[in-house]
Amino acid sequence: MTNIRNENDDISAEAVGQFGLSDDTIHEIEDALQNDYEEGITNIIADLSIADSAELLGKLSEENRQRLLKEYGAAFDPGVFSELNPELRKDTLENMPPRQVARIIMDLDSDDALDMILNLSPDFQNDIIHKLSAKTRLTLEEGLNFPEDSAGRLMQREFVAIPQFWTAGKTMDYLRAATDELPAEFFDIFVITPTYHVAGEIPLSRLVRANRSDKLETLTLGDIHPIPAGTDQEEVAQIFRRENLTSAPVVDEEERLIGVITVDDVVDVIHEEAQEDILKLAGVDHGDLYHAVLSTTGFRFRWLFINLLTAILASLVISLFGATIEELVALAVLMPIVASMGGNAGTQALTIAVRALATKELSTVNALRVVGKETLVGTLNGAAFAAIMGVIAALWFDNTILGLVLGTAMIINLIMAGLCGAGIPILLHRMGSDPAVSSTVLLTTVTDVVGFFAFLGLAALFLI
Amino acid sequence: MTNIRNENDDISAEAVGQFGLSDDTIHEIEDALQNDYEEGITNIIADLSIADSAELLGKLSEENRQRLLKEYGAAFDPGVFSELNPELRKDTLENMPPRQVARIIMDLDSDDALDMILNLSPDFQNDIIHKLSAKTRLTLEEGLNFPEDSAGRLMQREFVAIPQFWTAGKTMDYLRAATDELPAEFFDIFVITPTYHVAGEIPLSRLVRANRSDKLETLTLGDIHPIPAGTDQEEVAQIFRRENLTSAPVVDEEERLIGVITVDDVVDVIHEEAQEDILKLAGVDHGDLYHAVLSTTGFRFRWLFINLLTAILASLVISLFGATIEELVALAVLMPIVASMGGNAGTQALTIAVRALATKELSTVNALRVVGKETLVGTLNGAAFAAIMGVIAALWFDNTILGLVLGTAMIINLIMAGLCGAGIPILLHRMGSDPAVSSTVLLTTVTDVVGFFAFLGLAALFLI
């Protein structure tokens, strides 16, 4: 758990209803850096919360950020670096002396420390590891036993586990006495068997209301959701959201309690998981805002290159009908409409399917029904736009058959858009691929090729 | 807080590492319904958790769902209906007798009850309100004083508030004695002044470790984030995520404590907020999976119609160059490539900008830098694809100037794509519009119009 309480903060009337760092503060820092106004900078930094400091570092230009960290880096709380975007964090830390980074890492909770060090380049990791305390090194090594993005990496290893046969009073006495071994903040205590299996949990709000003589077994709630340490964090987030959990025990292969995940650790995962599809659909990377120009360009190039192949394929279809277009240039004018309407309608179906697959609202049992519905929606909207564009085209080029051809092509393409928009993600998902990554390209290929082929093909048949 | 603990659940070995409802169970229910196997259905429902039951109802066909609810509706826990997608919930409840719906609502926490009743049609609301107890009616009316999607609607009105001058021991005694008035589960107690202003909060894990004689003021953490009741839930979610909160006090206009929001109430908001941009960008509605065909068709029609206008505008540009295309049909073959690459590159920049604006990582202070970077990325990828496609086009049509014209048009369009992809959302945001709603259409207009105009215009100048 990242604990960012700051006991010195006071509550002022202005603070109510405002949050986040104002652009004014950022400008103040920029001005102070410009004028080497040391005291001003120190004062501003001292007033910032951890979240504010992280926002400040994210929004400064690279030059100002590096200067600020070089000259005032020690003024920032170690927790600030945990809150940075991973891309920005890597950049920032690798520009700092290894000794300072080691100090930051030793100051963090085990989960945050591990996350921070793994994000660094292997060379820099080596520089740092030698400067860590033996205890921190050991904790990090334990964390490495679990796969990346797993519950084992997300959990904290400090938790409260109490034997079944204790009373509420004895438990409270223990909590009071063992303060140093316990996590700073916790919401539930876990009741364990002699073999360290989780028998249940007791929310603190239940424990404080118990009488000292109450046996723990009378207080224990048995409805727990033990999470195997290897579970992917995406699944952890879904379990928390689905079951409205505030904390969950993490267990090893023998189902023994080894850690606990609390909901505040999962909040960021929930956020990332919910937004990652939008980034994948567009072929961009989450860190793009902080990547250097060249690495962003390179990453995007790959995605655009695949799209270029799709576009070339569409051009090949058009080139089949070169002679037809030469005879009736109106076809060249109208053909992008068919393809673009298909693309847009298909994207609508695709977005719904991709999200519903991610949230597990869509599975084998209702897949056919969803595809059927999307195809029907495509058919209805296809008919509507066929009528609209058919009339417009017939009037524009004074050619009724051209209007009919365009209308027919639009119906065909919007039916395909609905069918494939929903069908492609479902098929990819069933084949074990991530539907958000490749659905768009496949869909665009279909709507472009079908759109151009239907429109130009029908034109070649009926118009020339 | 939605409390979905079920004390009767037991922990079986198979449950570990699995979550969610299996498709098999859904098929079992479908079969049992088919065969009128009453006992089978009752048994399956009894074994389902609240989240499982909600998933079941979401995945059954409309016919099966309605039959199941009609014949076995009373077997479901009232909490199940809170967990349904709002669209599906409306549909489901309005098909049930008002008396049964009233019973469900009276059984829920105040926040869930309000959410449920407001989701219903006004007529059906009236039918139900008369059947509610006076107490429930009063609570609902209080909730209506706060704007939709505000902190006031999200909060629970049951919380623990303790005067500053009490000791830890007296507080614990009070918690033990006042069980009936307190929320079922809570994580923090709020320390208040005589005027009901929040002086600070004490996490339960801090309270249980205190000595009975400790004064509360020595335990109180002053770093609280009081949230005005009118705050939008989107902002509430961002505050929780930004400050890693587990609970926050909600205050009225005089800053007096009136409720509390806990992180588990915010988890769904965080999820919705993070995914809503993807739905808006595609012009689809969150409930689309559950909407009837006609309402989905209607909603999508509006979005597609606006896109049609964009496509027609692009066609008008093409029609300006009808004579040019007639002379060199290769132009018709290649022109979609320019437009589509511009559209894809622009969407990449746009997605980054829309998300960064939503998470407040992008604001006035770094807007110019982000637009500058995206324009540069567009220029570099424009140059790369200009080279690739220029050579391909020159070879394909054996025409070097055609290759040069295509390459130049691509550079121009990808620069515009980067500039407008980042710039349009930022401008819309500054004008107070939601950038996710209209950015795509505006961007497509730019990349289509500029793409066709640059390519065909240059061709008219240098090729004909």
| Nearest-angstrom CA–CA distance, A455 and A445 | 15
Sign of CA dihedral B126, B128, B130, B132: negative
Q: Does A368 touch chain B (CB under 8 A)?
A: no
| Nearest-angstrom CA–CA distance, A118 and B368 | 32
User: Nearest 5°: CA angle at B328, between B326 and B334?
Assistant: 110
What are the chain A neighbours of B185 within 8 Å (beta carbons)? 203, 205-206, 246
DSSP annotation string for A226-264: -EETTSBHHHHHHHHHHHT-SEEEEE-TT-BEEEEEEHH
Q: Within its chain, how far is the Cα of A214 from the centroid?
A: 44
Indicate the residue type of A450: V
Q: Does B206 touch chain A (CB under 8 A)?
A: yes
CB contact under 8 A, A282 and B251: no
Q: Does A257 touch chain B (CB under 8 A)?
A: no
| Nearest-angstrom CA–CA distance, B313 and B325 | 18
| Nearest-angstrom CA–CA distance, A14 and B208 | 33
What are the chain B neighbours of A384 within 8 Å (beta carbons)? 301
Query: Could you tell me the residue ranges of all domains in chain A?
Result: 17-131, 161-262, 292-462
pLDDT over 90, % of chain A: 53
Task: Measure CB to CB from residue B267 to each of A240, A326, A348 and give the nearest one.
Answer: A240
| Nearest-angstrom CA–CA distance, B161 and B201 | 9
Quick: pLDDT tens for B342-390: 999 999 999 999 999 998 899 989 999 999 999 999 999 999 999 999 9
CATH T-level assignment (fold) for domain A17-131: MgtE N-terminal fold (1.25.60)
How far does the CA of residue B97 sit from the closest CA of chain A (Å)? 27
Which residues, in sequence order, are CB contacts of B285 under 8 Å at separation 6+?
B279, B291, B296, B299
The residues that bridge with B259 in the sheet, in sequence order, are: B250
CATH T-level assignment (fold) for domain A161-262: CBS-domain (3.10.580)
Q: Within its chain, how far is the Cα of B205 from the centroid?
A: 32
Q: What is the pLDDT of residue A313?
A: 97
Quick: pLDDT tens for B31-41: 999 888 888 88
Q: Does A328 touch chain B (CB under 8 A)?
A: no
Q: What is the pLDDT of residue A10?
A: 36
How far does the CA of residue A219 sit from the closest CA of chain B (Å)? 11
Average pLDDT of chain B to the nearest whole number: 89
CATH number of B13-154: 1.25.60.10
How far does the CA of residue A104 sit from the closest CA of chain B (Å)? 19
CB contact under 8 A, A209 and B179: yes
CA atoms within 13 A on the CB side of B428: 22
> What is B161-263's CATH superfamily?
CBS-domain (3.10.580.10)
Could you tell me the CA-to-CA distances from A296 to A94, A95, B417 in Å, in that order? 19, 20, 15
User: Which chain A residue lies closest to B272 (C-alpha atoms)?
Assistant: A274
Q: What is the pLDDT of residue B19?
A: 65
Region B211-227: what's the mean pLDDT? Answer: 88
Please determine, for residue B7, whether its predicted confidence score (pLDDT) is greater than 80: no
Quick: pLDDT tens for B278-328: 999 999 988 888 888 999 999 999 999 999 999 999 999 999 999 999 999
Contact between B6 and B50 under an 8 Å Cβ cutoff? The reply is yes
Region A328-344: what's the mean pLDDT? Answer: 96
Please determine, for residue A444, whether its predicted confidence score (pLDDT) is greater than 90: yes
pLDDT over 70, % of chain A: 96
Q: What is the pLDDT of residue A322?
A: 95
User: Which chain A residue lies closest to B246 (C-alpha atoms)?
Assistant: A264
Please determine, for residue A13, whether its predicted confidence score (pLDDT) is greater than 60: no
User: Nearest 5°: CA angle at A287, between B444 and B412?
Assistant: 35
Q: Provide φ and ψ at B247, rounded to 5°.
A: -155, 155
> What is A292-462's CATH superfamily?
SLC41 divalent cation transporters, integral membrane domain (1.10.357.20)
| Nearest-angstrom CA–CA distance, B411 and B454 | 10
The DSSP code for A121 is: -
Q: What is the pLDDT of residue A11?
A: 35
Classify strands A247-251 and A257-262 as parallel, antiparallel or unpaired.
antiparallel
Task: Measure CB to CB from residue B279 to each of A222, A244, A351 and give the nearest one.
Answer: A351
pTM beyond 0.90, yes or no = no
Region A53-64: what's the mean pLDDT? Answer: 90
Q: Does A360 touch chain B (CB under 8 A)?
A: yes
Could you tell me the CA-to-CA distances from A279 to A166, A440, B462 in Å, in that order? 51, 12, 39
| Nearest-angstrom CA–CA distance, A404 and A458 | 10
Region A212-231: what's the mean pLDDT? Answer: 89
Task: Measure CB to CB from residue A311 to each of B238, B341, B376 and give the nearest one.
Answer: B341
Burial class from Cβ neighbours inside 10 Å (0-12, 13-18, 19+) for residue B196 reads middle
Contact between A259 and A235 under an 8 Å Cβ cutoff? The reply is no
Quick: pLDDT tens for A148-196: 889 998 888 888 999 999 999 999 999 998 877 788 888 999 999 999 9
| Nearest-angstrom CA–CA distance, A347 and B282 | 6
Q: Does B268 touch chain A (CB under 8 A)?
A: yes
Please determine, for residue A452, whether its predicted confidence score (pLDDT) is greater than 90: yes
| Nearest-angstrom CA–CA distance, B341 and A125 | 40
A142-146, A194-198, B312-316, B460-464, range with the lowest pLDDT: A142-146
Task: Measure CB to CB from residue A315 to each of B267, B273, B336 and give the nearest one.
Answer: B336
The residues that bridge with A249 in the sheet, in sequence order, are: A260
Residue B448: closest CA among A322, A396, A336, A318: A336
CB contact under 8 A, A267 and B369: no
| DSSP-derived 3-state class of residue B166 | coil
| Chain B residues 427-456 with a CB less than 8 Å from chain A | 444, 448
CA atoms within 13 A on the CB side of A144: 10
Task: Measure CB to CB from residue B341 to each of A274, A307, A384 and give the nearest one.
Answer: A307
What are the chain B neighbours of A18 within 8 Å (beta carbons)? none
Classify strands B188-192 and B161-163 as parallel, antiparallel or unpaired.
parallel
Q: Does A23 touch chain B (CB under 8 A)?
A: yes
